[in-house]
Amino acid sequence: MRNALLPSFAVQAKGLSLYLFVTLVFSASALAQTQITSGTIQGTVLDANGAAVPGANVEVRNPETNFVRNVSTDDEGRFVALQLPTGRYTVTVSKQGFATLVVEKADPGVSFGAPEKKLGIKGSPTRAVILEDVPVPASRMIGEPGTGFRTALATLDHTRITIAAQAIGIAQGALDYAAGYVKQRSQFGRAIAEFQGVQFMLADMAMKLEAARQLTYHAAALSEQAMSGHKAPGLTFASSAAKCFASDMAMAITTDAVQLLGGYGYVRDFPVERMMRDAKITQIYEGTNQIQRVVMARQLLA
């Protein structure tokens, strides 16, 4: 087997900058490391047979200043040029995935896109976060390099439950409003709450809501178990199931609430049309409900 890394440097002066053209050769079984000096670096990651390795993660780290930059290679194994301040750097190549880094709002290179114009959740502003050459100290890396994707997936097991809870809150609001309205509104000489067709709709709404709530409590209990260091088998399935079921349920309940208010359900003087628009996002973010079904099926078939 070849060495973990066989670097070959071609150094050329260009203007005032020193360009180090780096070819990083690594074996797939080991983390590759080499030392370079400051300047601008660019290169291609090659495997032991000299073939380009797309999707490799290149980390450039100055151990003295804790300055870290990460870049992934393109389809031909190339990584973009990096401007490095003075110092000596370690370049690490891995094919193991991303690193998770904490980036702060005040960091240089962090900016935000224009506020999005949305269907719902207008009380919660949504903007793209733009990161341009943001230097991040190594002390802000969560876990080891290459574990970022695993960290992100594990985080979703917990955060998806919060979307289930959000969906339940929206649905409960819509049910409460609709239940109050049907007792007040009269048609054909009586309150519409007296019509069995209306009662059955309310019963179905409350039944779905309670089922979603119990599933969410179950997922939340597993999440707490995992957070306190105990094994929580079934957490991934339960959190996806809670998010998916509660959000589908919230969409159905808020739509039925609009229906129960008739024409008034459709106008902005009453709150249920907003709840219907707000419910929609819970089926989309933190992974769409199609993706939740992919996650659940994978758990079942594993």
Region binding ligand FAD by CB under 6 A among candidate stretches 83-91, 92-100, 142-150, 285-293: 285-293
Contact stretch for ligand FAD (CB under 6 A) within 132-140, 237-245, 254-262, 279-287: 279-287
Query: What mask, x for binding ligand FAD by CB under 6 A, covers residues 240 to 259?
Result: --------------------
Closest CA to 175 of 224, 212, 125: 212
Alpha-carbon distance values, 165 to 129, 152, 284, 289 (Å): 25, 20, 15, 15
Residue 199 in contact with ligand FAD, rule: CB under 6 A: no
Cβ partners under 8 Å of residue 19, min gap 6: 11, 12, 13, 39, 40, 41, 42, 81
Angstrom distance (rounded) from CA 289 to CA 127: 22
- Report the alpha-carbon distance of residue 219 to residue 178 in Å, rounded: 28
Q: Choosing from 64, 132, 194, 286, which is the catalytic residue?
A: 286
Task: Establish if 290 lies at the interface with ligand FAD (CB under 6 A).
Answer: yes
Q: How far is the CB of 6 from ligand FAD (least distance, A)?
A: 38
Is position 286 annotated as part of the catalytic site? yes
Q: Least separation, in Å, of the C-beta of 59 and ligand FAD?
A: 22
Minimum distance of ligand FAD from residue 240's CB (angstroms): 13
Instruction: Choose between 19 and 285: whose C-beta lies nearer to ligand FAD.
Output: 285
Please report how close the Cβ of residue 196 comes to ligand FAD at its closest, in angstroms: 37
Of 285, 255, 73, the C-alpha closest to 166 is 285
Query: Least distance to ligand FAD from the beta carbon of 143, Å?
Result: 18
Distance CA 79, CA 90 (A): 15
Residue at token pair 């594993």: 302
Q: What is the dihedral of CA 208, 220, 281, 202, to 10 degrees?
A: 20
- For ligand FAD, the binding residues in 114-133 under the rule CB under 6 A are 118, 121, 126
Q: How far is CA 109 from the centre of its chain?
A: 21
- Return d(Cα 210, Cα 43) in angstroms, integer: 57
Q: How many residues bind ligand FAD (CB under 6 A)?
A: 12
Residue whose CB is less far from ligand FAD, 8 or 290: 290
Give me the active site residues, please: 286
Residues forming the site for ligand FAD (CB under 6 A):
118, 121, 126, 281, 284-288, 290-291, 294
